[in-house]
Chain A
């Protein structure tokens, strides 16, 4: 039986606070994507390098990042490392956890994108007199980025949503943290969570649409 009267005016009063939280959420998501992207490129190069140590390291990273829950990864970044005396603040732990997760998935994206480009293209480029680096830079990379771009926006949306896991490591400034706190104070669970859901939805939607516009401009034939 659902017996609950909504007090929306109370919830709307907290909207500015929640929007501040949304900015922190977006900030973490963007930073985690930038870091994740850099790590993913490094992991991809490691795996292409043929070096067994580097390749093994990259494979282990991707395996753990993709096959364990993000909650576990974030929890480990805070409490797991904490056990060894490495103390990351909730903000840093959340950022590290999500960046780790992003890197794993993005590395897989890049690998898939590379596989989709026939090797004959590189050989043709080389036979036209390009160096290996030039062939990668002018022939392979533009295509790789185009193929990997839309899956990467998925990961960006996923990163935004993952920030909500920060509450488990004591994060109280992002959207989920602010919402939890408002909820604890007043017990108006459903209003605050509904507002938070709408804000998450709007952010995710804007990101997806911006990415699509960007792709339409950048990747024209």
Chain B
């Protein structure tokens, strides 16, 4: 009798301490105690490295905030733009905090949160190219970082113009290197990146010459498409960041000026 009672108690204890069979990603992250974020680190001011090679930037802080909210430690996994999705799909990261444009095409593959940041697009030109506006780029050699919103839009524009050449480079740093060498006449990049690279002084002979008439580039956090529980958490987290003023604070810290509105008028999310 005593033996079977102990056995039943033992079973109950075992059941209580074993993870449920259908733990989802949110459970997994909390259980593991680590949140692994894919962050692009050659994309200042969103992600870069300081003098001691530590990751810094808006996206890095955002990941740390998310980890804090989840009660876990953040691990920044450096991920170049084209490798964001393979990193997620192969399970190397839990969430992408990587300035990812929320296109419908991509949402077929990954689950996007509500927008957590918005970019305007700026034209940066080599001073010798004589380009003074977006329209001046017609017929010139232009480029952008492969796989980004602006690269896709710019390539489409070059095809529409029917003259000139478009070159996608693998990293933002290569784009600005090619631009300052004069291999590219101009590039379209997010306004934040453009300002930060021109002011940074690493690349000589380039200046921001105007805005590109592309749509506002809303970027979202992303995770696996089927992880509704986690996506739900991410949405609320983005909402809370704005509500608590943390979004403004981070914007002021890394970019400066008026933080862009993350809502679109006239429609529900």
A187, B85: Cβ atoms closer than 8 Å: yes
* A78-B183 Cα distance, complex, nearest whole Å: 9
B182, A186: Cβ atoms closer than 8 Å: no
* A2-B79 Cα distance, complex, nearest whole Å: 18
- Determine which of B91, B108, B170 lies in contact with A168 in the assembled complex, contact meaning CB atoms within 8 Å: B170
Which of B67-120 touch A at CB < 8 Å?
Answer: 81-82, 85-86, 89-91, 105-106, 108-110
B89, A184: Cβ atoms closer than 8 Å: no
Which of A152-180 touch B at CB < 8 Å?
Answer: 167-170, 172, 177, 180
B108, A170: Cβ atoms closer than 8 Å: no
B91, A184: Cβ atoms closer than 8 Å: no
How many residues of A are counted as interface, with CB atoms below 8 angstroms from the partner's CB atoms?
A: 29
A79, B151: Cβ atoms closer than 8 Å: no
Contacts of A190 in B (CB 8 A): 86, 89
What distance in Å separates the Cβ of B47 from its nearest Cβ neighbour in chain A? 18
On whether A170 and B105 interact (CB within 8 A), knowing A78-B183, A184-B82, the answer reads: no
Q: Is B218 part of the contact surface with A, judged by Cβ < 8 Å? A: no
Per-residue B-contact encoding for A57-91, CB less than 8 Å = 1, 0 else: 00000000000000000000011001101010110
* A177-B151 Cα distance, complex, nearest whole Å: 14
Q: Is B167 part of the contact surface with A, judged by Cβ < 8 Å? A: yes
Per-residue A-contact encoding for B205-224, CB less than 8 Å = 1, 0 else: 00000000000000000001
- Determine which of A2, A83, A89, A188 lies in contact with B109 in the assembled complex, contact meaning CB atoms within 8 Å: A188
With CB as the reference atom, state the residue of chain B lying closest to A3. Answer: B224
Q: Is B26 part of the contact surface with A, judged by Cβ < 8 Å? A: no
B168, A170: Cβ atoms closer than 8 Å: yes
Chain B, interface SS category: mixed
With CB as the reference atom, state the residue of chain B lying closest to A170. Answer: B167
On whether A184 and B177 interact (CB within 8 A), knowing A168-B170, A172-B166, the answer reads: no
B182, A79: Cβ atoms closer than 8 Å: no
Chain A, interface SS category: helix
How many residues of B are counted as interface, with CB atoms below 8 angstroms from the partner's CB atoms?
A: 32
* A123-B53 Cα distance, complex, nearest whole Å: 65
Q: Is A217 part of the contact surface with B, judged by Cβ < 8 Å? A: no
Contacts of B151 in A (CB 8 A): 184
Contacts of B82 in A (CB 8 A): 180, 183-184
Which of B111-156 touch A at CB < 8 Å?
Answer: 143, 146-148, 151-152
Contacts of B166 in A (CB 8 A): 172
On whether A185 and B152 interact (CB within 8 A), knowing A79-B178, A82-B181, A172-B168, the answer reads: yes
* A78-B181 Cα distance, complex, nearest whole Å: 10
With CB as the reference atom, state the residue of chain B lying closest to A168. Answer: B170
B183, A87: Cβ atoms closer than 8 Å: yes
With CB as the reference atom, state the residue of chain A lying closest to B147. Answer: A184
B224, A186: Cβ atoms closer than 8 Å: no
Contacts of B105 in A (CB 8 A): 185-187
What distance in Å separates the Cβ of A167 from its nearest Cβ neighbour in chain B? 6
* A86-B109 Cα distance, complex, nearest whole Å: 41
A170, B106: Cβ atoms closer than 8 Å: no
With CB as the reference atom, state the residue of chain B lying closest to A193. Answer: B86
On whether A7 and B108 interact (CB within 8 A), knowing A170-B143, A181-B146, the answer reads: yes
What distance in Å separates the Cβ of A19 from its nearest Cβ neighbour in chain B? 20
Q: Which residue numbers of B lie inside 8 Å of A, CB to CB?
A: 81-82, 85-86, 89-91, 105-106, 108-110, 143, 146-148, 151-152, 165-170, 174, 177-178, 181-183, 224, 226
What are 10 A-B interface contacts by the 8 Å CB criterion?
Answer: A3-B89, A78-B178, A79-B174, A79-B177, A167-B146, A170-B178, A172-B168, A177-B168, A181-B168, A183-B85
